[in-house]
Structure formats: structure tokens, C-alpha cells
Amino acid sequence: MTVMKAIGIKRMAKYVIDFNTARELHRMGDLKSAKAAYLDLLKSKPRNAELLHALGILHTQEENFEKAIDFLEKAMMQNQHDPSIQSHLANVYKFQGLLDKAQNLLEKTVSQFPEHLPSLNNLANIYFALENYERAISCYEKAISKKPDYMDAYYNLGLTYIKMQSLSKGRDTFQKILALHPDHFAARFQLACILMREEKITEATKEFLAIENAHAHHFETQTNLATCYLKKGEIKEAKNHYKKALDLRPDDTQIIFNLGVVSMQDSNVDAAIQYYQQFLLLNPNDFATHNNIAVAFLAKNHLPYALNHFKEALRLDPQNASIAYIVESLSQNKSLRAAPRDYIQSLFDSYADHYEPHLLNALEYQIPDIFIKAISPFLSKNITILDLGCGTGLCGIPFKSYAKKLVGVDLSGKMLHFAREKNIYDELITDDVKSFLENTKEVFDLIIAGDVLVYTGDLAELFYLAHKKLTPNGLFIFNTEVSERDDFTMNQSGRFSHHKKYLEQLIDQTHFKTLHYQTCHTRMQQHQLVEGHLYILSKGMV
């Protein structure tokens, strides 16, 4: 061996040792020391593709993309036969938003090195970024066909199906990943999210619980579990997972807000108020939170606090007719004559998902049973029935057996969603009750207004319209709350009560005849029975 050759071997050995040292520093995350070592080696080997490549990757990690591109382009000039350099350079182009350059480079790379699967996967990622999902899928599938356990391509394929709203194909893809790698956290999380979107809540819950078992501190899993339990109506479990999420992110205002909401649903009003107050310390100008805490104070009968927060909500949304109405009602404005359309719609849209259990259990709502018992002696079968303000269909249920046709009308589309699930109505219409009565060409044998007139003070127009839309011997059954003084009075609940004398004047003026009258307890309010009037009126002669 010549002396020169021996020196060359020694230098090469030293370079290998120094390069491996630098690479180990790089692998351990000591980027500063690794960079210094690479640059020191580069002084003696300025065209070394391996060094240039390593520096390109390091600058990419530091998000110094201009330098990364410079080093990687130099590396590619020195070595045209390493597809990983080209693939890394294309990724940096992508980070810089240079998608066309990345696409052109990767298409050449894949053509030149068809077996280099990372380049094929990266090209698919570029197509995905360009929203060319069909070409992305083709590349992912080609990569998987060459390497059936290529998890990156499999996972990206699943994400592409989600982006295309092909949830069933996405679900199948993530299930295939889990069949190959049961501990693939990201695939299980995506599968659970798809199941939740498909409303397969029990299956989604099972998957999220499996993730929680292995990754107890994953924030999104805790929030999604809370959502699943809410959909299942298991409020306490939902609250438990929101609390776990809050432990992970104590200042997350959305979780604090959600805990206020579920605390109200769990009838823990004090806790709800505390969460809303915590939220307002972090974000004092949030309309929804002022509105919700006002409702909570209203539930506690702390009217001054409720009014203050409703006023804050109105300050933040001055055009909000619903909040303005509530402020006026709490201020006992006697000039109000009806609840505005927006108020009723927003009230019952927000109430819809827990309306029935709250009404039947907490408020001991009795109107459907009271109505059918009172009117049964006067009813015949096979009649057309209009259920005004039908809500989720509670009044419609006992009347279905009498109906040739049962029509429900309600302003809240969300309430009608639950009414539709009962399969008792022949037709459901989203509209204000007065607007419907004004515009419909149908007439009915029976009009039901269960807990509907309480949102209107001046009933003259509604009585006139109801009379007009009844068949010659049609019946009108309704209830109101009892006013002891004025014709009608706005209550702090936002509902109206009516004096019996006022109702009887309207009955005479609109040419109805009273078939039946009784007083009844319609519901609970602030732990007290609400006294009501119940009338059955006839359009024809009694």
C-alpha cells in the first residue's frame, strides 16, 4: 500500500467518524452542534452531496426554507441518482407553497425511480394539496400495491377519502391499517371521528375509549368522548370527559363554555354559573356566554344578575330582537304584545335536543294528557287536525288515533326534526303559526294549541285566524296561563298570562262558542305549579 493511499484511507475514516458524529448529534436533536459539525466538514468537501443533503434537512427542521432549498439543490446537482434528495427538496418546495415546482420535480423523480415509494407518496401529497384527489388516490394505491404495509400511504389515502366525503371508503381504509397495526393511534382516531360523523355513536365511543386507554392525555379524544356521550344523552359522562380535557388545557375557553352548557343540562346551575364566570374572566365580551349565564341566573331566580347579563348580551348584539324582548320582559314592560319570531325560533332551536326530558321530568308538563281527556267526549274519528306550535310532537301523540290527516306547524326546524322521528304527522311545516294560518288554503276539524298562546299577549288576530281555518263545526283547544289583573301580562319567564274576562271577550268577538272550560296546572316554574286556563271552543252551535 502506498503512503498516499494510506493517508487517503485515514482521511476517509476520519470523515466517516466525524460525519457519523454530526449525524448522531442531528438525530438527538442538537441542531446547533450538528450544523457546526456539518459546516466544518463542508469546508474540506464543499461538493459532498451527503453533507449538502444533511444540511438541507437540518435547515428544513429549523424552518429556514430558503437555505434548505439552496443546500438541497446543490446536493441534487452533485448527485442525480439519489431520489431521497429530490423528494426532500420537493417537500421544501411544498412548505414554501411552490406546489407546481414540487409536482414537476416529483413527477420526474417517480418516472426515473418508480420503486422509490417515498417520492410516490410525496407526489400523492402534492396532488392532495392541489385538490386533485383522484390522482392522489391513484398514487397512494400504487405505493400500497408495491408495499402492502406502507402505513404512510395507507393513512394518507384514508385522509383523502375523508376530504372527498367518502366516509365509508375512509372507514374501510383505517380499518385495514388497524388490522395490520392495531396500535396505530392516528388511524384509530380518524376511524373514531368518521364513526362519529356517521352517527355511529356507540362504535365511535368504543374506539375513543380504546384511544383513551392508551393515550389518556390526548385532548381531542377527551373532547370527542364528551361529544359522543352528549349525543347518547349521558350528560354526567360528557361532563367528566370535558373536565379531563380542561385538566389538559386549563385555559381552553371552548371547554369552559361547554362545561357551563352541560352543567345546565345536568341541572347543576351553580356549577354552570361558575364556568361561565370563569369564561368571562378570559373573554369578557362574548355574547353567547353573557346570554347563557343570564339564563342560568334566571333559573336561580336571581333576576337583577340575569338582567345585567342580558343587557350585556344586548350591548354586544344590539339588533338581537330576542334579547331585547327578554330585557323588556325582565324590566316588566307592559307595552309588549307578543314574543318576536326570532326569540321563539332561537329559544326552541337551542332547547330541542333536551326539550322532552326537561319538559316531562323537570317541569312535569301535563298539557297533552289534560287536552285529550278534556276533548275526547267531543271528538269523532277520521278528522283533519292542525297542531299549532307542535314542537317535538308531544301533543300530536294522543291525537294521532283520531286523525285522518295530522299537520304540525312550528317555527323551530330543530324541534320539527324530533317530531318527524315520531312518524305521526302527515305533514310538518316550518312557519310561524299566524303566518301559516294566514296563508294556508286548508281548513281543519280540530286546531290544537298546546302551550302556544303563552308567547302572544294580544290574541285577537290569532283567534280570528283560527276561526277562519276551522270547518263549520270545527273545534279549537288551547291553554294559557292565568293573569289576575290585566288582560294580558308579560311575565319574567318571557311568557304571557291572560285574564279570563279578556279571553271570553275575544271568544264573543270572534263568534266562537265555549264548549268546555277548566282551570288546570300546566307545568312547574321555579318549583311552583303554574295555573292555567283550558278552553275548548266550537265554531258551530253548541
127 domain residue, yes or no: no
508 domain residue, yes or no: yes
CB 424 within 8 Å of CB 400: yes
Which positions ≥6 away from 358 have C-beta within 8 Å?
Answer: 351
> Cα(206)–Cα(32) distance, rounded to whole angstroms?
45
CB 54 within 8 Å of CB 26: yes
pLDDT value, residue 351: 47
196 domain residue, yes or no: no
> Cα(198)–Cα(180) distance, rounded to whole angstroms?
24
The 10 Å Cβ neighbour count of residue 438 is 13
Mark whether 374 and 520 lie in a shared domain.
Answer: yes
Strand partners, 428: 408
- Residue 302 domain boundaries: 252-318
298 domain residue, yes or no: yes
Which positions ≥6 away from 84 have C-beta within 8 Å?
Answer: 53, 116, 118
CB 37 within 8 Å of CB 18: yes
* CATH number where 313 lies: 1.25.40.10
Q: Cell numbers 283550558 correspond to what residue?
A: 534
> Cα(151)–Cα(172) distance, rounded to whole angstroms?
14
The whole-angstrom distance between residue 228's C-alpha and the CA centroid of its chain comes to: 11
Mark whether 284 and 406 lie in a shared domain.
Answer: no
Mark whether 283 and 411 lie in a shared domain.
Answer: no
263 domain residue, yes or no: yes
Mark whether 502 and 401 lie in a shared domain.
Answer: yes
Mark whether 382 and 523 lie in a shared domain.
Answer: yes
Mark whether 488 and 374 lie in a shared domain.
Answer: yes
Dihedral sign for Cα atoms in the order 505, 511, 517, 521? negative
Mark whether 359 and 491 lie in a shared domain.
Answer: yes
115's grid cell: 420503486
Query: How many domains, the chain?
Result: 2
CB 370 within 8 Å of CB 534: yes
Residue among 228, 224, 214 at smallest CA distance from 184: 214
> Cα(537)–Cα(375) distance, rounded to whole angstroms?
10
Domain end residue (candidates: 267, 300, 318): 318
pLDDT value, residue 339: 55
* CATH number where 446 lies: 3.40.50.150
Estimate the crossing angle of helix 65-78 against helix 83-95, to 10 degrees.
Answer: 160
357 domain residue, yes or no: yes
> Cα(85)–Cα(48) distance, rounded to whole angstroms?
13
CA of 477: how far to CAs of 7, 23, 445, 470, 524, in Å?
108, 84, 11, 12, 21
Mark whether 313 and 354 lie in a shared domain.
Answer: no
Mark whether 404 and 366 lie in a shared domain.
Answer: yes
Chunked in runs of 10, what are the mean pLDDT values of the chain (542 residues)?
49 76 91 92 91 95 94 94 94 93 94 93 94 95 94 95 95 95 95 95 96 94 94 90 96 95 86 96 94 84 88 93 79 59 58 51 72 94 94 90 95 86 94 93 95 87 95 95 83 78 95 93 65 91 52
CB 496 within 8 Å of CB 456: yes
70 domain residue, yes or no: no
Mark whether 271 and 413 lie in a shared domain.
Answer: no
Domain end residue (candidates: 318, 338, 358): 318
On the 0-12 / 13-18 / 19+ scale of CB atoms within 10 A, 124 is buried
Estimate the crossing angle of helix 460-468 against helix 500-509, to 10 degrees.
Answer: 40
390 domain residue, yes or no: yes
Phi-psi sector, 91: left (phi>0), alpha (psi -120 to 50), beta? alpha
Mark whether 463 and 510 lie in a shared domain.
Answer: yes
Mark whether 438 and 309 lie in a shared domain.
Answer: no
Q: How far apart are the first and last CA of the chain?
A: 127
Q: Cell numbers 482521511 correspond to what residue?
A: 11
Which positions ≥6 away from 503 have C-beta within 8 Å?
Answer: 459, 480, 533, 535
